[in-house]
């Protein structure tokens, strides 16, 4: 006769081997929905290298490459799951029969998943997420709709910032030698005393300097602000809702308190040719206009060491020459004096393109005052990468730091042509 111990061992071996992808907002609840009597959760999966080897709910956190080959089910337990699916396809993970996309509502009706996840808990979680998103988006739309309608039909009722076209900005940069800085939510948040973006810690000194640049009256300095204040018809619904959620009344009031209504600003989105817009057929037309800025110029890129702007694509195929000065990808303000000193050693005949997040404004401004021409080109490369990939959602770019996605491992680059472009590395 088989012993009770043998029977328990057999039951353990019969359990489905499960991994859960995601240790964020819903990780715990997804775990609670798993039928542990039928399944054994072997680990959580997360792209963030800083989490690997740690535990979540007393279960080890792994990278995707560390999971065992003989698992039965991988539950993608994050709401914005499209980027993970894209990553799995790029890594040649072809056995999608093992994957459950938890927040894809249609999946919970499939009977083959009934033994893995409690259907009632599953449906409740999906419903909770849908209601929360609906409430958030609806409130943001209602709060913002007045400004959108006024801008569209009767601008006289509200004084919106004056934002000139991308064509005008390019003309001034190319033909008048102007420099350009761009202010987005990260810069405004820091000036307001709030936490900055994920790649730059808040600093009162940084806030003061950002405000100094914003209110400066330098003739050769163009200042870009995002066209977020009124009509949003040109943007995709996702992009427009993100803007509405950000442009709360208190945010709008702060913006209006530091902007000059007599000044002409320029569109900070000019280097995003693809992702925010409904009309994506004109992406190449928008990008071709931007590429005039560095056409036949000797270009020096001052960027984060994991940013790699234009690497592996044709973004800079029309420059005369291209060099790179690499700086910290995160918290570059801590090295600002060193970065500026190194930049001042460059030839004034070159065009300096800056991709350093919230530090870009300071560097462009300080270089412009010393007789250089510099342009903050921001997230142009990741936007172009998504265009080339035909991505409908923001997806990882393995050899780049993508600030708009959660942290992930970044593939090292050993390409000789790229390495030859590097003229300095500030650590």
Domain boundaries, the chain: 4-127, 159-425
Task: In whole angstroms, give the CA distance from residue 221 to residue 169.
Answer: 11
pLDDT band at 94 (very low <50, low <70, confident <90, very high): low
Task: In whole angstroms, give the CA distance from residue 151 to residue 149.
Answer: 5
pLDDT tens-place string over residues 319-329: 999 999 999 98
pLDDT surpassing 90 at residue 264: yes
Widest CA span in the chain: 93
Nearest of 123, 28, 12, 17 to residue 74 by alpha carbon: 17
Nearest of 379, 267, 235, 358 to residue 315 by alpha carbon: 379
What average pLDDT does this structure show over 174-199? Answer: 93
Helices 283-291 and 380-389, interaxial angle, to 10°? 140
Task: In whole angstroms, give the CA distance from residue 300 to residue 316.
Answer: 11
pLDDT surpassing 60 at residue 194: yes
The pLDDT, as a whole number, for residue 408 is 72
Task: In whole angstroms, give the CA distance from residue 416 to residue 216.
Answer: 41
The pLDDT, as a whole number, for residue 363 is 98
Query: Which pairing describes strands 298-304 and 73-76: parallel, antiparallel, or unpaired?
Result: unpaired
For residue 348, count other CB atoms closer than 10 A to its CB: 11
The pLDDT, as a whole number, for residue 79 is 92
pLDDT surpassing 50 at residue 6: no
The architecture in CATH of the region 4-127 reads 3-Layer(aba) Sandwich (3.40)
Q: Count of alpha carbons within 13 Å of 22, Cβ hemisphere only?
A: 24
Whole-number percent of the chain with pLDDT over 90: 77
The pLDDT, as a whole number, for residue 13 is 52
* pTM, rounded to two decimals: 0.86
The pLDDT, as a whole number, for residue 93 is 64
Task: In whole angstroms, give the CA distance from residue 162 to residue 164.
Answer: 7
pLDDT tens-place string over residues 110-163: 888 899 999 999 999 999 999 999 999 999 999 999 999 999 999 889 999 999
pLDDT surpassing 60 at residue 352: yes
């Amino acid at each position: 006769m088989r012993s009770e111990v043998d029977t328990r061992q057999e039951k353990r071996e019969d359990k489905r081997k499960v991994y859960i992808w995601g240790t964020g907002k819903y990780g715990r609840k997804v775990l609670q929905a798993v039928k542990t009597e039928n399944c054994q959760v072997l680990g959580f999966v997360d792209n963030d290298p800083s989490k690997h080897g740690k535990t979540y709910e007393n279960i080890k956190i792994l990278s995707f490459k560390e999971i065992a080959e003989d698992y039965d089910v991988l539950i993608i337990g994050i709401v914005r799951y499209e980027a993970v699916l894209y990553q799995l396809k790029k890594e040649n993970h072809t056995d999608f029969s093992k994957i459950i996309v938890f927040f894809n509502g249609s999946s919970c009706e499939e009977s083959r998943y009934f033994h893995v996840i409690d259907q009632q808990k599953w449906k409740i979680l999906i419903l909770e997420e849908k209601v929360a998103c609906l409430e958030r988006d609806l409130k943001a739309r209602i709060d913002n709709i007045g400004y959108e309608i006024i801008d569209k039909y009767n601008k006289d009722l509200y004084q919106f910032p004056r934002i000139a076209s991308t064509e005008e900005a390019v003309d001034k940069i190319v033909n008048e030698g102007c420099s350009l800085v761009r202010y987005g939510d990260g810069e405004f948040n820091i000036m307001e005393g709030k936490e900055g973006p994920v790649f730059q810690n808040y600093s009162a000194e940084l806030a003061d300097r950002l405000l100094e640049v914003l209110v400066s009256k330098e003739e050769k300095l163009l200042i870009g602000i995002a066209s977020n204040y009124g009509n949003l018809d040109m943007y995709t619904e996702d992009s427009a809702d993100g803007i509405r959620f950000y442009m709360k009344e208190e945010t709008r009031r702060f913006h209006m308190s530091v902007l000059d209504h007599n000044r002409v600003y320029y569109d900070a989105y000019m280097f995003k040719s693809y992702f925010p817009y409904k009309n994506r057929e004109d992406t190449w037309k928008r990008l071709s206009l931007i590429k005039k800025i560095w056409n036949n110029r000797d270009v020096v890129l001052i960027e984060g060491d994991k940013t790699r702007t234009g690497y592996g694509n044709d973004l800079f195929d029309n420059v005369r020459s291209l060099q790179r000065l690499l700086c910290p990808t995160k918290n570059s303000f801590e090295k600002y004096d060193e970065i500026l000193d190194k930049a001042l050693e460059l030839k004034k005949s070159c065009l300096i393109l800056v991709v350093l997040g919230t530090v870009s404004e300071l560097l462009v401004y300080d270089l412009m005052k010393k007789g250089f021409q510099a342009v903050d080109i921001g997230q142009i490369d990741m936007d172009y990468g998504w265009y080339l990939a035909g991505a409908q959602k923001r997806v990882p770019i393995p050899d780049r730091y993508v600030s708009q996605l959660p942290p992930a491992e970044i593939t090292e680059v050993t390409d000789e042509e790229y390495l030859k472009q590097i003229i300095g590395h500030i650590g």
